[in-house]
Chain A
Amino acid sequence: MNHSNLQAPLSVSGLTVAYQKKPVLRNVSFEVPEGKLIGIVGPNGAGKSTMIKAILGLLPRVSGEVEIYGKRYQDMRKSVGYVPQRESVDWDFPTNALDVVMMGRYGHLGWFKRPGTKERDMAMDCLAKVGMKEFAHRQISQLSGGQQQRVFLARALAQHADLYFMDEPFVGVDAMTERAIITLLNELKAQGKTVLVVHHDLATVREYFDWVMLLNVELVAYGPTEDVFTKSLLHQTYGGRLAVFDQEDGAVLVESR
């Protein structure tokens, strides 16, 4: 899809989400430029996943507006792809990898149309892109954690969206999957797509993302990685929970728990 208008892929203003008494996300406003890989970083309980879910309307929000390419999310669903956390589904479900990827097409198929050969081929392509073609007919419970994550990514690819949200795609995956995901993210970027990734490994932020959002209930900082991913801003985000080891090739940051 080509959004010739100059609207930002995503603009959020005054987003506040609360569980019971405590706001878990307070007055967050930002605008996402097109064609960037954006890492969302912050300590545990900072509201990273909550923010994605609230943007996608999966959680009720106390206040705030969300616009996707200048329109309401409800009208732009087809331009948005979502990769939830791997644990959010039951991997014992009786289905195979190919079938899960085809689910990415369901939103486009409309109410009555069934997935056919076209969807099948599309899903196969997406599986191939994440290096999982040979596992297409494998029952999903028999895939490793990394392979399951790649199936989820392939499903998001099948959505043919312009704006992607990924919730901790690097958690519990092997090195090979991590590389596959990163290659994929760069490919998406090359196609002019925008990707927001919830990320928790500070060591790889600089390497993976163009832009960074530092979040701890409130938006601490947001912008190009070199401007934002600084020691002082990280300290501000993580409070005392951050250990910094200075090494020859730069600072290695570890979140202490």
Chain B
Amino acid sequence: MTLLSWSVLTDPNTQWILIGCMLLGLMSGIIGSFTYLRKQSLIGDTLAHAALPGICIAFMLTGVKSLPLFFLGAFVSGLLATLLITVITRYTRIKADAAMGIVLSVFFGIGIVLLTHIQHSSYGNQSGLDKFLFGQAASMIASDVYTMIGVSAVIVIASSLLFKEFKLLSFDPGFARGLGFPVGFLEQLLMFFTVMTVIVGIQAVGVVLVAALLITPAVAARYWTDRLGLMVVLSGLFGAISGVIGTLISTTTSNLPTGPLSVLAATVVFVFSVLFAPQRGVCAKAVRRIRNNRAIRMAEHVREIQHSPVYSKEESL
């Protein structure tokens, strides 16, 4: 039985999916560490939702389904969405969380209107557009994987070349500006990588779950180390492992979608990290807290004994 199901792995299609999901996990893990440290974790969620109208408009204008065009559409609407969030938070009393919620839901609402419009109208080649939005890793083919190899190669190379710039950008953008780094350009570049990851991710796991790919491995990695370099590597690794595990379970078990399984695999890694990471983990912290409280009380006790007047036994006699 197991032999039979594992033999699926020799199937070239499955191999492509496996590679694809692994690469997706890798690049979203890398990019996710930077967005997490820049306190923009939910930017992936916003971009994923905001991508919908961009993709629909790109399709409506050209009538063809092509990845580069969708990229462009998603990038433009993603840019517009982040710009709007900035305008709303900077110039009104509305706080960041609400601004994000407004932009996210309104863009998605517009996207759905356009999507239904496309479906109800006589655009020829529209089938599959909604699948695209809810993710179907199983439909990944060789050419998709080639694209992903390209994208992830760009991201890996760029993040290693620009490592110190991205590091500074995540830690202290004001200081980076002072040093004369082109902060605006770097921000846009990181944003561009995020959009690329999100678009590729949407294809595999869908709009809602793409956020998890960017957030969960990064947060898990943060638990294990205080060094950014190691964190980025770990996060990429966690992402890749989650992608592989998700694909394996999904291909060896009947009828389970890859995307949610990858997300759950990442969540398991995260929960494990939260509980058992050596320094920041819940267990380690609990042990430390108990020890500290005991030490503090003990110190108080000693202090009290030292400071209180001495009543010797002789006196009481």
Contact = CB atoms under 8 A, between A and B. Distances in A.
B93 A92 contact: yes
B300 A18 contact: no
Nearest to B291: A21
B297 A21 contact: no
A18 B292 CA distance: 9
Interface string B206-242: 0000000000000000000000000000000000000
A5 interface: no
Interface in B288-315: 288-289, 292-293, 296-297, 300, 303-304
Contact of A62 (B93, B297, B303): B297
Contacts of A21: 288, 292
A20 B300 contact: no
Interface string A18-36: 1011010011000000000
B292 A63 contact: no
B293 to A, nearest CB: 6
B93 A18 contact: no
A95 B289 CA distance: 42
Interface in A58-81: 62-63
B17 to A, nearest CB: 45
A62 B291 CA distance: 12
A16 interface: yes
A63 B297 contact: yes
A6 to B, nearest CB: 27
A141 interface: yes
Contacts of B289: 20
B93 A63 contact: no
Nearest to A17: B296
Contacts of A16: 296-297, 300
A166 B287 CA distance: 36
A27 B292 contact: no
Nearest to B285: A20
A225 B93 CA distance: 45
A63 B300 CA distance: 10
A234 B207 CA distance: 61
A20 B288 CA distance: 9
Contacts of B296: 16, 18, 23, 26, 62
Contact of A27 (B93, B288, B293, B300): B300
Contacts of A141: 93
Nearest to A21: B292
A20 B303 contact: no
Interface string B278-292: 000000000011001
Contact of B293 (A26, A62, A92): A62
Contacts of B93: 92, 141
Interface string A152-165: 00000000000000
A18 B293 contact: yes
Contacts of B292: 18, 20-21
A216 B312 CA distance: 32
Contacts of A14: 300
B295 to A, nearest CB: 9
Contacts of B297: 16, 62-63
A21 B289 CA distance: 7
Among B292, B293, B296, the most chain A Cβ lie within 10 Å of the Cβ of: B296
Contacts of A63: 297, 300
A249 to B, nearest CB: 38
Contacts of A27: 300, 303-304
Given A14-B300, A63-B300, 10 more contacts: A16-B296, A16-B300, A20-B289, A21-B288, A23-B296, A26-B300, A27-B304, A62-B293, A62-B297, A92-B93
Interface of B: 93, 288-289, 292-293, 296-297, 300, 303-304
9 contacts: A18-B293, A20-B289, A20-B292, A26-B296, A27-B300, A27-B303, A27-B304, A62-B296, A63-B300
Which 10 interchain pairs have the tightest Cβ spacing?
A: A92-B93, A27-B300, A21-B292, A23-B296, A62-B293, A18-B296, A62-B296, A16-B296, A63-B297, A16-B300
